[in-house]
Structures are given as C-alpha cells and as structure tokens.
C-alpha cells in the first residue's frame, strides 16, 4: 500500500534487534521503509548499559545506504569523536550532561561536514543547551531515561521541551531537526507529531514479535502526520520537509540572477531547466526552486527582484536579436 509522502521521518533504533546480528537488523529496518538508522552507543558508564562502538558502526555503514544517526550515551565523546566520524556516521549526537567540554566536540562534528546534535535527559532542563544553540543541527529530546529500550513514553517532558527545542534551532532556516527518542510507538506517535517533531526514533515497537515492521512504520508516520495536521497545520496534511516549490520561471540568464541573489542571501535554491516556453535564443525557460519550508521568507526578501526580472524577460524576448543577425 503506497502512502503519499508526509512530514514525519523515522530513525529506527536497532537496540532491541538481535545484537548478535546487527547487520540483519539494519537490513530489516531499511527494507521496512525506515528513513534512517539510530545507533545507541552506550559505555556502561554514562548509562548502565553497554552496546557497541565505532568498529561495529563501520560494519553497519557497509551494509546500508540509509543515513546513520549516532546517539552517543558515553562520558567521553570528545576522546573518540574521530573514530565515530571515520566510521561513517551522518549525524552525531552527544549528551549535554557529560562532564567534558562540549563545544570542541560539536565543532569537530561540524568540521567533518556532519550534523551535530545535543541530547537532553528527561530530568535536565532544555535551557542547558542554550550556550550551544548556534552550533546545533539536531536537538534530541529523551522521553525515557537513557539506557534501555521498551520504556514508557514521558509525554509531559515532550510537551515542555518541544517548543524550546525548535527555538534552539532558529538559526537554521532549513535542516534543523528536533528528534524524540524513547517510547515512540503507534500509541504515542500522534502527540509526537502534534508537537512538531521532525525525526521519531523508534526502537522496540519495530521489533515486537508478530508485528509487521513495514506496517508499523507506515502507521507511526501516518499517526504522527495526523497529529501535526490537526495540532499545528490547521487541518492541512503536511508535505515532505524537503519538498521544493517553483518560485519563478525565467529565461536562463535571468533565472541565474535570481538564483544568485537568493544564494548570496544564504538561502537555499536550485535552478532547473523547466518544461515551460522556448525562448527566442532556442533555450527553454528555467525554474528557480526553493524548499517549501522557507518559501515565505524567500518571497518576502526576493519578490520584488523576481517581479523585475519577469518584466525584463518580457522586454528581452520582445527585443531579441539573434547574435548572427
């Protein structure tokens, strides 16, 4: 059954899979439609459990193309960060409660071109992350005490922290992500979606005996999107976060100018040859596309230029003289 792509993304935690056969666990969540893999690294010191490290992750990297989110529940992430980056993690999230300095590790993750995140335990106030806000791509809200899968979801923790977490990422016009980790399943997905969470970490709910993992993933996504639809989107079904929209369609040289203006303002845009009209120079119009989630801001800042360029396009077409004329 194919479902229209929605907004909610799932990062499957393999903590409750067969730890003696992690490769198979990863293949299963990929085949079942998970968007990413959540890797719970525990050192039996920061949390009362021990799982796996960079070598295992390097092996997992060779078995899947899904993005790998490392959740480091270890006391000294700074000491081992290079190994986790070399292992191929796409994002690395460390805990704000560690005793070693946090900023250098976040900078090392970003310097490697990966997404840097901070996780916060249920009992830790979210403003503990404030000093690191500008360095964050990910805020991970723990809705269980870290250390084990299969625990109950703490709804009040998420209600209190979802809004401030989004605020911590306000410097990121696109791509900032709020992750929720712990106790997410078909019973709790709707509230998670209604609070605007981007990435739902789901563990034990996917590995329950007798449950169809692919159906569970579809259900959890659909329920989260329903929560978002009625909780935050005025009843409008949400679209994929990476959905692109056409801002303007122009002759190539004018589309280039619009693209450059948006790009120089630090905003994302792409230019693609469209299927619009063919111009007097024989070249088809180009579309300038932007992410739907920042369309409003780009309209505010660049609508005047876009309108001027449309006028210029009309004049250019009308007065076009071929080079060899």
Residues belonging to the active site: 40, 181
Tell the smallest beta-carbon distance from residue 122 to ligand DX5 (Å): 11
Stretch that binds ligand DX5, among 9-17, 171-179, 209-217, 301-309 (CB under 6 A): 9-17
Tell the smallest beta-carbon distance from residue 279 to ligand DX5 (Å): 53
Half-sphere exposure of 98 (CA within 13 A, CB side): 25
Report H helices in the chain.
Answer: 22-31, 54-61, 77-86, 103-111, 155-168, 189-194, 213-231, 252-264, 295-318
Report the C-alpha gap between 117 and 120 in whole angstroms.
10
63 closest CA partner among 25, 102, 96: 25
**Phi-psi sector, 243: left (phi>0), alpha (psi -120 to 50), beta:** beta
- 40 in contact with ligand DX5 (CB under 6 A): yes
DSSP one-letter code for 203: -
Q: Which one of Zn ion, ligand DX5, none interacts with residue 271, CB within 5 to 8 A by kind?
A: none
Q: Which one of Zn ion, ligand DX5, none interacts with residue 176, CB within 5 to 8 A by kind?
A: none
Report the C-alpha gap between 30 and 27 in whole angstroms.
5
163 closest CA partner among 229, 89, 231: 231
Among 87, 184, 217, 255, binds ligand DX5 (CB under 6 A): 184
- 94 in contact with ligand DX5 (CB under 6 A): no
177 closest CA partner among 205, 147, 141, 143: 141
Tell the smallest beta-carbon distance from residue 182 to ligand DX5 (Å): 4
Q: Which one of ligand DX5, Zn ion, none interacts with residue 169, CB within 5 to 8 A by kind?
A: none
Among 64, 75, 124, 151, binds ligand DX5 (CB under 6 A): 151
Q: Between 59 and 147, name the residue whose CB sits nearer to ligand DX5.
A: 147
Among 201, 213, 224, 309, binds ligand DX5 (CB under 6 A): 201
Among 5, 88, 147, 276, binds ligand DX5 (CB under 6 A): 147
- Tokens matching residue 25: 């666990």
Q: Which one of ligand DX5, Zn ion, none interacts with residue 249, CB within 5 to 8 A by kind?
A: none
Report the C-alpha gap between 51 and 276 in whole angstroms.
55
Q: Which residues bind ligand DX5 (CB under 6 A)?
A: 13, 15-16, 38, 40, 71, 144, 146-147, 149-151, 181-184, 201-205
């Amino acid at each position: 059954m194919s479902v229209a792509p929605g907004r909610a993304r799932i990062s499957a935690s393999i903590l409750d899979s067969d730890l003696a056969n992690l490769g198979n666990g990863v293949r299963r969540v990929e085949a079942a439609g998970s968007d990413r893999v959540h890797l719970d690294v525990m050192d039996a010191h920061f949390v009362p459990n021990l799982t796996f490290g960079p070598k295992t992750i390097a092996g997992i990297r060779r078995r899947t193309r899904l993005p790998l989110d490392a959740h480091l529940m270890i006391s000294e992430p700074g000491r081992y960060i290079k190994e986790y980056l070399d292992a191929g993690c796409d994002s690395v999230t460390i805990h704000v409660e560690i005793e070693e300095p946090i900023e250098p590790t976040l900078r090392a993750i970003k310097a490697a071109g990966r997404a840097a995140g901070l996780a916060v335990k249920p009992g830790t106030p979210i403003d503990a992350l404030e000093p690191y806000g500008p360095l964050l791509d990910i805020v991970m809200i723990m809705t269980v005490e870290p250390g084990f899968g299969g625990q109950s979801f703490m709804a009040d923790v998420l209600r209190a922290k979802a809004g401030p977490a989004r605020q911590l990422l306000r410097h990121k016009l696109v791509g900032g992500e709020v992750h929720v980790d712990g106790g997410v399943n078909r019973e709790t997905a709707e509230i998670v979606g209604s609070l605007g969470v981007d990435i739902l970490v789901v563990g034990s709910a996917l590995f329950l005996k007798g449950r169809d993992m692919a159906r569970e993933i579809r259900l959890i996504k659909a329920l989260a999107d329903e929560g978002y639809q009625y909780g935050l989107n005025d009843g409008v079904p949400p679209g994929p976060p990476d959905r692109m929209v056409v801002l303007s369609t122009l002759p190539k040289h004018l589309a280039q100018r619009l693209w450059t203006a948006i790009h120089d303002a630090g905003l994302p845009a792409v230019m693609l040859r469209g299927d619009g009209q063919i111009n007097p120079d024989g070249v088809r119009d180009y579309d300038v596309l932007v992410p739907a989630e920042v369309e409003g801001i780009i309209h505010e800042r660049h609508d005047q230029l876009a309108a001027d360029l449309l006028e210029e396009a009309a004049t250019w077409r009308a007065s076009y003289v071929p080079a060899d004329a």
